[in-house]
Amino acid sequence: GAGVSQSPSNKVTEKGKDVELRCDPISGHTALYWYRQSLGQGLEFLIYFQGNSAPDKSGLPSDRFSAERTGGSVSTLTIQRTQQEDSAVYLCASSWKEAYGYTFGSGTRLTVV
3-state SS class at 49? strand
Nearer to other proteins, 59 or 72 (CB): 59
Q: Which of residues 26-65 bind other proteins (CB under 8 A)?
A: 33, 35, 41-43, 45, 48, 50, 53, 56, 59
Q: Which is nearer to other proteins, 3 or 16 (CB)?
A: 3
| Site size toward other proteins, by CB under 8 A | 23
Residue type, 47: I
CB 13 to other proteins: min, Å:
21
Distance CA 26, CA 5 (A): 8
Q: Is residue 91 at the binding interface for other proteins, with CB under 8 A as the rule?
A: yes
Query: CA-to-CA distance for 93 and 91, rounded, in angstroms?
Result: 7
